[in-house]
Structure 1
């Protein structure tokens, strides 16, 4: 492309740019063109997935690490919760929920810092929080020590789990964003599988103290790798354009695409520039204004959608099966070591389900996967509730039938986990990173992650009581919640797959909240852009007037 054709894209007005915070220079690391790994195409994509996948693997490990620690007699003695009283159960559950509180704080920090210091330095700060939290948890001597350690560790995990999907979504080709996140969360479930079986092996072969302290300390391996590898990676091209480094953004986009087509790169870059020009018409919103002010980009509505998908994913019922899996397999009539072994085996099927998610997420799209997933989970959970009822009611009168029904409940739990993993798990994390405009993407994604932490804390606090109080009815409750969720998904959730992030600005900024109105207006806009596309193909340049969001 000729220099004169490039100048228009690079001619981003200084007033439309925002400099990084002056104190960002005090944080070592971050992006450097000279230090960034010199890979292109598929090798670069694989390298990005390695770092992002390790970060999300840490999330999977950290979020599951308390599943067998909570029942360790040595741990309970140190925490002063080994008397078996109701107060002890509440305290143990509280330590789990404190992690979710820290997770929400970490997400809020990302919303405040990501645009000020860049995506890579934000990842590094999250690692520091997590390293301190892991060290404190592994060395905890009492309840108060562990409580603060859980909060600090949660801050680090929430920090990483908010910023890493933003970073990868902004780096990825629009055709690969869903697959990027699906690969990452395949590794998240791999992390959960690793910690479950590590803890089980330690319980069977090592001392009780080693069995809970070693798995908590093992997380440091992930974190040190992330901390020291991050400075060698590319920064988000959208962040670089926002701070006026357009040529560096172009270079990164060229090196992170499987098939480098110069005209497509220039068109996407022009869309980013146009979006930044549009956002520059209003001052950058504060965290409070993001929630309270109605703007022409409909940011507040987007927050409701992003937070809504995170809350709904918790109300699908996944935590009552993944976190409290041994208790659920006990409802199937299994005793002794069988509930723990079945729960561990479920992680393998759960992880395998992400292979299907990688294939489907960009082919079927986010909206269809949510609808298919909730419909399917409604059916299997109803079946699980009926079978669990038969297990309990026939235990004394017909043990053979009760045993067969118990096997059916176990099959339902495995099938449910597979359905959730292949539909909702990827969608609920990629969707919030796609729907926000660049100016509020970090803050909006942070708000969605805070919603995840609040919903997760509430669910994890009430589910143990719910299982004890209503027994097999817990299946029916979550089945009905899945049925109810079909309504808002159908009405309000717009498809985001295979669309440029800047195209989504137009879709979500529509006056009507109903998806069909936005889609109709978007289709009309695409027809109007046909002439601009033809001009672009002929001349390799898009006029500013052709890119109105």
Structure 2
């Protein structure tokens, strides 16, 4: 079993500081990859180290997620634009029209699903940076179609192709940063990216709001679709000058380049620490090469020594739960949700815009706590805060709606209370789950299946995102303020699987997690107990970095 393999091959780095993996475990890039321009080049990569290099990495990754946030929210006010509705033949206000508009939003998730699977299938072969650049090409093509759309079918094609590009970027960018980051900074890296993601959503909302008020209706929905090309062109250009991940370089046999990138990307590099980390990466490559679960199907169905199937379940499960928390209902249908507070006219749209701003401001809170409190505690706290906020907001919304206009003071007071608790819900999500649900899938998979594993988690994100975005308008129409209670219950129910199965991954080397997941038990507390026993048996403290294994 994996436990025996790992323990039998373990030794301290000081006993053998230079660990080598035989060439049979290396996987050279396929010959066809040279026909894909761009990507990493040792001679072209910027000669920066430490914090300057980290800043460059975060700028590129942040722009990738800025595009994701922008593209995901770009339909927020487009959906109520009269000129857009006329072009889509959906201006009648019927249930059929609502289905067509919701379908256009949801088709983006279909493209996202396809893009995630595509990126996962070749990111381990051609590298992270080339995969990101290919995603940009899809995104640019999609943006051109969206900006020029004249009918429903045209718009659907544009949404799908744009989603393919976004699926590439959102799958690979977090992997790229997680594999470049110090082990105790992975969560902070992802938090920075998703601060940019929410900033992108905020940007597009207010851009569309301003355009609706100052420009023609046609400009107000076409210009935001075209503007996203600016981000994509920036990514395509800048990616040529940044480093590939040391784990990918080591996997393809370029150990000297991997060592060099490790030294440049660490804030406090030392020769001993770099050699130890490179040794851990090499041993992980050796162990993972013996796993039988390397393809999408085998990862889901086949039981292997690394428990890849369990990791797939955790990664896909966290994305499903993230959608069931209810953030899409607040983000994509914000004006409708804030209309449940009893406010009318232009105020619900303004409140939705201010909610995006509070959302953006809350994400850096997660940046501070994601490593200090850990993923597990932050998710549990977030579920409690979000569930409680919505549970209170529901009855308040009922009071706001049912209070007659003659008692305007009380009606506004109830409405303001609803708004306050919805804002609290949004801040709870932004400061906890938006970071955890994206960093967790990048951590739980071994190197050999990391790109494919994260892409499978993106499939879950896309499927559940499409379902939620399609049904939410009908749910709100059918149950009104009860939608708050519905999502509150979902948040509380999710406390159970998080408590039972989601083991802590913070402040652990990615290679350390192979030992953690070697446990035959899926229960988090059993995995932690066995992990501690193994580490102590090898002479390490349970919280110490993983021991280096030799071949």
- Under a length normalisation based on structure 2, what TM-score does the superposition of the two structures give? 0.95
**1:163 counterpart = 2:172:** yes
Deviations 1:497-518 (A, max 9, x none): 1100011111123100001111
Alignment check: 8 A CA contact 1:313 1:428 kept? yes
**1:25 counterpart = 2:25:** no
Deviations 1:124-164 (A, max 9, x none): 10000001001110011111111111100000001100000
Deviations 1:316-353 (A, max 9, x none): 11111111111111111111111111110111111000
Partner of 1:530: 539
Aligned-residue offset at 1:8: 6.5
Partner of 1:330: 339
Q: 1:525 to 1:461 in 2, by over 3 A?
A: same
Alignment check: 8 A CA contact 2:442 2:454 kept? yes
Q: 1:542 to 1:438 in 2, by over 3 A?
A: closer
Partner of 1:412: 421
Alignment check: 8 A CA contact 2:249 2:257 kept? yes
Partner of 2:476: 467
Partner of 1:62: 71
Partner of 2:272: 263
Aligned partner of residue 31 in structure 1, secondary structure? coil
Listed as ranges, the matches of 1:7-406 within 5 Å are: 9=18, 11-282=20-291, 285-396=294-405, 398-406=407-415
The whole-number CA distance in structure 2 between the counterparts of 1:424 and 1:459 is: 17
Q: 1:542 to 1:181 in 2, by over 3 A?
A: closer
Count residues in correspondence. 536
The whole-number CA distance in structure 1 between the counterparts of 2:393 and 2:541 is: 55
Q: 1:210 to 1:499 in 2, by over 3 A?
A: same
Aligned-residue offset at 1:284: 6.2
The whole-number CA distance in structure 2 between the counterparts of 1:297 and 1:10 is: 22
Aligned-residue offset at 1:532: 11
Q: 1:505 to 1:387 in 2, by over 3 A?
A: same
Aligned-residue offset at 1:10: 5.7
The whole-number CA distance in structure 1 between the counterparts of 2:459 and 2:288 is: 25
Alignment check: 8 A CA contact 1:532 1:542 kept? no
Q: 1:531 to 1:187 in 2, by over 3 A?
A: closer
Alignment check: 8 A CA contact 1:10 1:247 kept? no
The whole-number CA distance in structure 2 between the counterparts of 1:266 and 1:521 is: 27
Deviations 1:215-257 (A, max 9, x none): 1100010000001111111001101111111111111011001
Partner of 1:544: 550
Aligned-residue offset at 1:527: 1.6
The whole-number CA distance in structure 2 between the counterparts of 1:423 and 1:39 is: 32
The whole-number CA distance in structure 1 between the counterparts of 2:391 and 2:292 is: 50
Alignment check: 8 A CA contact 1:111 1:287 kept? no
Deviations 1:360-385 (A, max 9, x none): 01110100010000011111111101
Aligned-residue offset at 1:479: 0.5
Aligned partner of residue 250 in structure 2, secondary structure? helix
Aligned-residue offset at 1:261: 2.1
The whole-number CA distance in structure 2 between the counterparts of 1:299 and 1:10 is: 25
Alignment check: 8 A CA contact 1:9 1:273 kept? no
Q: 1:66 to 1:233 in 2, by over 3 A?
A: same
The whole-number CA distance in structure 1 between the counterparts of 2:549 and 2:516 is: 21
Aligned-residue offset at 1:96: 0.2
Alignment check: 8 A CA contact 2:128 2:244 kept? yes
- Deviation larger for 151-160 or 262-271: 262-271
Aligned-residue offset at 1:37: 0.5
**1:501 counterpart = 2:510:** yes
Q: Which of 469, 482, 487 does residue 496 from structure 2 map onto?
A: 487
- Deviation larger for 292-301 or 398-407: 398-407
Alignment check: 8 A CA contact 2:66 2:196 kept? yes
Aligned-residue offset at 1:286: 1.6
Alignment check: 8 A CA contact 2:293 2:304 kept? no
Gaps of 5+ in 1: none
Gaps of 5+ in 2: 1-12
Aligned partner of residue 511 in structure 2, secondary structure? helix
- Deviation larger for 396-405 or 332-341: 396-405
Aligned-residue offset at 1:397: 6.7
Alignment check: 8 A CA contact 1:79 1:142 kept? yes
- Under a length normalisation based on structure 1, what TM-score does the superposition of the two structures give? 0.95
Aligned-residue offset at 1:289: 1.2
